[in-house]
Amino acid sequence: MTPFKTIDDLGDLTGKRVLVRADLNVPVKDGVIGDITRLQATAPTIHGLLAKGATVLVLSHFDRPKGKVVPAMSLKPIAAALAKALAMPVTFIENCVGAEPKIAVAALAPGSVAVLENTRFHAGEESNDLTFAQSLATLGDIYVNDAFSAAHRAHASTEALAHVLPCYAGRSMAAELKALEAALGNPQKPVAAIVGGAKVSSKLDVLMHLVERVDHLIIGGGMANTFLAARGINVGKSLCEHDLADTARAIFAKAEAANCIVHLPYDAVVATEFRANPPTRTVAVTEVHDNEMILDAGPAAIEQFGDVLKLCCTLVWNGPLGAFETPPFDTATVAVARMAAALTEDGSLLSVGGGGDTVAALHHAGVADTFSFVSTAGGAFLEWMEGKALPGVEALSS
Ligand code: AMP
- Please tell me whether residues 205 and 64 are part of one structural domain: no
CA distance 101 to 14: 20
CB-ligand 1 contact for 298 (6 Å cutoff)? no
Distance 334 CA to ligand 1 centre (A): 14
pLDDT at res. 233: 98
CB hemisphere CA count around 146 (13 angstroms): 31
CB-ligand 1 contact for 353 (6 Å cutoff)? no
Contacts of residue 72, Cβ cutoff 8 Å, sequence gap at least 6:
none
For helices 171-180 and 37-51, angle between their N-to-C axes, nearest 10 degrees: 120
| Residue range(s) defining the domain that contains residue 106 | 7-174
Residue of the nearest CA to atom 14 in ligand 1? 323
- Please tell me whether residues 210 and 168 are part of one structural domain: no
Confidence band for 304, pLDDT divided at 50, 70 and 90: very high
pLDDT at res. 355: 86
Please tell me the total count of domains within the chain: 2
192 part of a folded domain: yes
Residue 167: is it exposed, middle or buried by C-beta count within 10 angstroms (0-12/13-18/19+)?
buried
Q: Mean pLDDT in the chain?
A: 96
pLDDT at res. 308: 98
- Please tell me whether residues 261 and 194 are part of one structural domain: yes
Cα dihedral 41/383/333/269 (nearest 10): 150
Residue of the nearest CA to atom 11 in ligand 1? 323
For helices 76-86 and 37-51, angle between their N-to-C axes, nearest 10 degrees: 60
Contacts of residue 152, Cβ cutoff 8 Å, sequence gap at least 6:
379, 380, 383, 384, 388, 390, 391, 392
Domain containing 77 — which CATH number? 3.40.50.1260
395 part of a folded domain: no
pLDDT at res. 3: 84
Distance 145 CA to ligand 1 centre (A): 32
pLDDT at res. 378: 87
With a pLDDT cut of 90, the percent of the chain lying above it is 95
Among 143, 174, 205, residue at a domain's last position: 174
CA distance 331 to 337: 10
- Please tell me whether residues 156 and 192 are part of one structural domain: no
Averaged pLDDT, 77-82: 97
- Please tell me whether residues 65 and 109 are part of one structural domain: yes
Residue of the nearest CA to atom 18 in ligand 1? 222
Among 174, 200, 224, residue at a domain's last position: 174
Averaged pLDDT, 346-374: 95
pLDDT at res. 35: 86
pLDDT at res. 168: 98
Tell me: the pLDDT tens digits for 258-290?
999 999 999 999 999 999 999 999 999 999 999
CA distance 49 to 376: 23
pLDDT at res. 33: 92
Among 25-29, 77-81, 163-167, 366-370, which stretch is predicted with the lowest mean pLDDT? Answer: 25-29
Distance 172 CA to ligand 1 centre (A): 28
Among 145, 174, 203, residue at a domain's last position: 174
